[in-house]
Amino acid sequence: MQPVVVEAGRAFLGVVARAAELDYVAGEVTLVLLPRSALKHVDALKAMPFGLSAGPDPALDILVSHAAGLPGRTLPPALALFCESGLLGLLAFAAGPGGSLDVRSRDGRDTLYQQILLDIAANCSRHDFGVSQVAQRHKINVRTLQKMFQQHGVTLKEHLTWSRLQLAHSALADPANAAKKVSDIAFEAGFNDIATFNRLFRKSFGRTPSSLRQGSGPD
């Protein structure tokens, strides 16, 4: 088979049935491997051949950034499920309009939950996007919405905050944003208070935003 050539800084999405050969320029490559069992939740990936995605994809960039912070960490079961949901949500979003999640449920609540995860991934940077807005957009009352997330071991507010932190993490790690202030990146990711952002970022990633940008290790 012909090798797939991967350009520097390029994220791609593909399904490998048996084997694949990658050619890439000197440097580092990050592979995010998901088990085949996970792909059953994403219709667009079931018949997708191995190959490069159509072009730069913010969802894939965030997914890689998200996954890169997980190896070597021991997560509580609830947080592990939360991270898994986030990765699958980003994967489905990157798969395109045809990548609707196919999560079987008698009452449709699991499907709605996955749709809400995608909505949050796409809109979490908005400062006016909160619990009540999510409930209104999906025509569900706030109490039911909160219970839906609690059943997955996390609150909606926690998930929204984590999604914003992931956006900020990806932006801080991007050399194209080197001239931007940390406070500007935090604001663009949906945060209003820089002190709160710094505290939550360090708690979540084990390092400050500035140390991530400078490429130093955990604080």
Burial profile 160-183: b = 16 or more Cβ within 10 angstroms, e = fewer:
bbbbbbbbbbbbbbeeebeeeebe
Amino acid symbol at 26: A
Q: Is the pLDDT of residue 78 over 50?
A: yes
In the prediction, which pLDDT does 151 show?
A: 81
* Structural domains for the chain: 4-214 (1.10.10.60)
In this structure, what DSSP letter does residue 48 have?
A: P
Tokens found for residue 124:
């979490």
- Residues 3-13 pLDDT 10s: 555 566 666 66
Helix/strand number for the chain, H first, E second: 11, 2
* Confidence label for 94 from pLDDT (cuts 50, 70 and 90): low
- Residues 181-195 pLDDT 10s: 999 999 999 999 999
CA angle at residue 144 from 142 to 149, to 5 degrees? 95
d(CA 187, CA 78): 28
